[in-house]
């Protein structure tokens, strides 16, 4: 046993993505030995995912050669031995390019291995009285999807220390399929809320219709419902993208709108954060420049203090705070969102083509955010495993007023941009007959943080020209200038 002592805690990568061996320090003397078999802070500091174990199982094997597996379950495992020694074999049974990859090694009390969801796990005991232990981050469920591989599969070609013909194997394990007949375990699901909105449509275009991507509207899933925790088998989900929101900023100032805004923008987000925390899900939540009062002299960084002016901004700020309670969260803060459907750019293009000369607010400044860019940024953060937190996402380039944007729309549609006049926010709403939400005059967001992750933000002028270039013929009264 002396060879298990003196190791330093360190992770060792394997050829299977996410499958990580850990060397464990074991301390001993004449009385026996001691080890920290699982130490969350130390192991996550070394890069292991905080996988949130909920159950600890032990399989005792009294004879050498006990052979079990290969089983792939839809949860993560932390595998170790308390006594004895095993030869472990792992086969990637996940859908993707590493399907069928094999890794083998011996595990004694001084080693452990993190086995990600969908990787087939098996072992053969090399010493009597071997206690095989594993932490898992979900409870067994008959509704879960499993995959199995035959221990003697020729493609995997596992070199078992003791030939399979000489050991006892369960009838179930003997009946498991060869690799060619295994149905791969699909990735954990991604749930997109607000699928019918501007950003929801852009996310559908970006993510596609793969079986593990699910799109829902509020009519299909009300996250504020009391039974939300039982609305799905949430452990099958890896990501929730919350593209749903109450965005009628002026209607939010009415009694009915105030209630609806708080429900959609704050209460719903708190419910999503609870579900995400309880099930190890990454929550992506879309925020707004309205969480600020617009009084800053420069661009707002992600950690600027909240100071919302109206009900809409207050509910969005509350939603941000709720999203932050999820340990795995990305808050994507945007401004002046433009996508499919009715929006400022389409309205200005229609006025330009109809011969209308509008007066447009000139004392609010910011940058446009196109929904396809927001969708790309969300996918980038998820695929790059960027640090959790808040990220500003808008177009790059100079800050403009709404009047400046309108003039650019007129120019790009072949119209005289001098037809656009200026008006102050106060004057524009002076004679409003219904409640009006106060607007931040400065909506410029600092983009350094998202840029540092390697994401390229399109220039606002280029993005606007691209957007207008794909208008349908019915929307465009004039040919775009060459």
Task: Find the farthest-apart pair of alpha carbons in the chain and give their distance in angstroms, rounded.
Answer: 94
Q: At what angle do helices 311-323 and 268-279 cross, to 10 degrees?
A: 10
Domains and CATH numbers, the chain: 2-181 (2.60.120.10), 189-469 (3.40.50.720)
**Active-site residue among 134, 312, 391, 467?**
134
Q: Which residue matches tokens 């991604």? A: 190
The dihedral region occupied by 371, where left means phi > 0, alpha psi between -120 and 50, and beta the remainder, is: alpha
What predicted TM-score, i.e. pTM, was given to this entire model?
A: 0.88
Beta pairing partners, 33: 28
Confidence grade of residue 2 (pLDDT, cut at 50, 70, 90): low
Confidence grade of residue 182 (pLDDT, cut at 50, 70, 90): very high
* % residues pLDDT > 70 (the chain): 97
Could you report the per-residue pLDDT of 254-292, keeping only the tens digit for each? 999 999 999 999 999 999 999 999 999 999 999 999 999
Distance CA 376, CA 330 (A): 14
Could you report the per-residue pLDDT of 195-235, keeping only the tens digit for each? 999 999 999 999 999 999 999 998 899 888 888 988 998 98
Could you report the per-residue pLDDT of 232-261, keeping only the tens digit for each? 989 889 999 999 999 999 999 999 999 999
Angle at 247 between CA 245 and CA 253, to 5 degrees: 120
- Least trusted range by pLDDT, from 30-34, 47-51, 267-271, 473-477: 473-477
Its sign, for the CA torsion 359, 475, 456, 393, is: positive
Beta pairing partners, 445: 300
Residue 217 pLDDT: 92
The more confident residue out of 458 and 431 is 458
Q: Is 467 a catalytic residue?
A: no
- Using the predicted structure, report yes or no on whether residue 473 has a pLDDT greater than 50: no
**How many secondary structure helices (H) and strands (E) does the chain include?**
12, 25
Could you report the per-residue pLDDT of 97-136, keeping only the tens digit for each? 999 999 999 999 999 999 999 999 999 999 999 999 999 9
- Using the predicted structure, report yes or no on whether residue 476 has a pLDDT greater than 80: no
- Using the predicted structure, report yes or no on whether residue 480 has a pLDDT greater than 80: no
For residue 101, give the nearest of 181, 11, 179 by alpha carbon.
Answer: 179
Residue 52 pLDDT: 86
Q: How far is CA 59 from the centre of its chain?
A: 35
Distance CA 241, CA 283 (A): 6
| Polymer length in residues for the chain | 482
Bond before 474 cis per omega within 30 degrees: no
Residue 475 pLDDT: 53
Contact, 224 vs 271, CB < 8 A? yes
CA R_g for the chain: 28
Contact, 421 vs 360, CB < 8 A? yes
DSSP-derived 3-state class of residue 63? coil
Its sign, for the CA torsion 352, 354, 355, 358, is: negative
Q: Is 380 a catalytic residue?
A: no
Its sign, for the CA torsion 258, 259, 260, 262, is: positive
Residue 474 pLDDT: 47
- Dihedral angle of Cα 270, 274, 280, 284, to the nearest 10 degrees: -10
The CA-atom distances, in angstroms, between 150 and each of 91, 170, 174 are: 11, 11, 6
Residue 6 pLDDT: 79
Distance CA 270, CA 223 (A): 9
Contact, 50 vs 151, CB < 8 A? no
Residue 471 pLDDT: 62
- Phi first, then psi, for residue 459 (nearest 5°) are -65, 140
């Amino acid at each position: 046993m002396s060879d298990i002592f003196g190791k330093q805690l360190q992770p060792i990568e394997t050829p299977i993505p996410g499958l990580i061996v850990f060397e464990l320090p074991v301390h001993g003397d004449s009385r026996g030995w001691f080890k920290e078999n699982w130490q969350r802070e130390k192991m996550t500091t070394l890069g292991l995912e905080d996988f949130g174990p909920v159950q600890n199982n032990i399989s005792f094997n009294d004879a050498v050669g006990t052979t079990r597996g290969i089983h792939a379950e839809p949860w993560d495992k932390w595998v170790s031995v308390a006594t004895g020694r095993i030869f472990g074999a792992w086969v990637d049974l996940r859908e993707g390019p590493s399907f069928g990859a094999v890794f083998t090694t011996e595990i004694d009390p001084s080693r452990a291995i993190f086995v990600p969801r969908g990787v087939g796990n098996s072992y053969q005991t090399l010493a009597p009285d071997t206690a095989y232990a594993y932490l898992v981050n979900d409870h067994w469920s008959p509704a879960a999807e499993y995959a199995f591989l035959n221990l003697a599969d020729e493609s995997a070609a596992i070199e078992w220390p003791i030939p399979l013909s000489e050991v006892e194997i369960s009838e179930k394990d003997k009946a498991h399929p060869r690799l060619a007949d295994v149905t791969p375990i699909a990735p954990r699901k991604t749930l997109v809320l607000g699928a019918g909105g501007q950003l929801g449509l852009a996310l559908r275009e970006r993510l596609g219709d793969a079986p593990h991507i699910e799109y829902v509207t509020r009519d299909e899933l009300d996250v504020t419902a009391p039974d939300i925790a039982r609305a799905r088998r949430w452990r099958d989900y890896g990501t929730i993208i919350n593209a749903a929101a109450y965005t009628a900023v002026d209607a939010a100032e009415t009694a009915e709108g105030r209630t609806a805004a708080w429900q959609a923008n704050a209460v719903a987000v708190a419910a999503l954060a609870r579900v995400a925390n309880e099930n190890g899900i990454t929550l992506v939540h879309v925020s707004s420049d309205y969480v600020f009062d617009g009084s800053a002299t420069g661009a707002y960084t992600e950690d600027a203090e909240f100071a919302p002016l109206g009900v809409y901004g207050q509910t969005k700020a509350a939603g941000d705070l709720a999203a932050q309670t999820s340990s795995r969260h990305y808050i994507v803060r945007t401004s002046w969102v433009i996508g499919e459907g009715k929006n400022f750019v389409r309205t200005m293009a229609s006025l330009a083509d109809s011969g209308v000369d509008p007066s447009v607010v000139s004392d609010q400044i910011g940058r446009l955010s196109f929904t396809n860019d927001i969708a790309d940024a969300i996918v980038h953060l998820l695929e790059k495993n960027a640090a959790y937190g808040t990220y500003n996402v808008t177009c790059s380039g100079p800050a403009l007023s709404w009047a400046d944007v309108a003039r650019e729309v007129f120019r790009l549609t072949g119209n005289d941009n001098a037809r656009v006049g200026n008006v102050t926010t106060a004057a524009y709403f002076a004679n409003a007959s219904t409640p009006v939400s106060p607007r931040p005059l400065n909506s410029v967001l600092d983009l350094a943080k998202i840029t540092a992750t390697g994401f390229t933000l399109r220039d606002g002028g280029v993005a606007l020209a691209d957007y207008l270039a794909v208008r349908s013929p019915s929307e465009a009264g004039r040919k775009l200038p060459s």
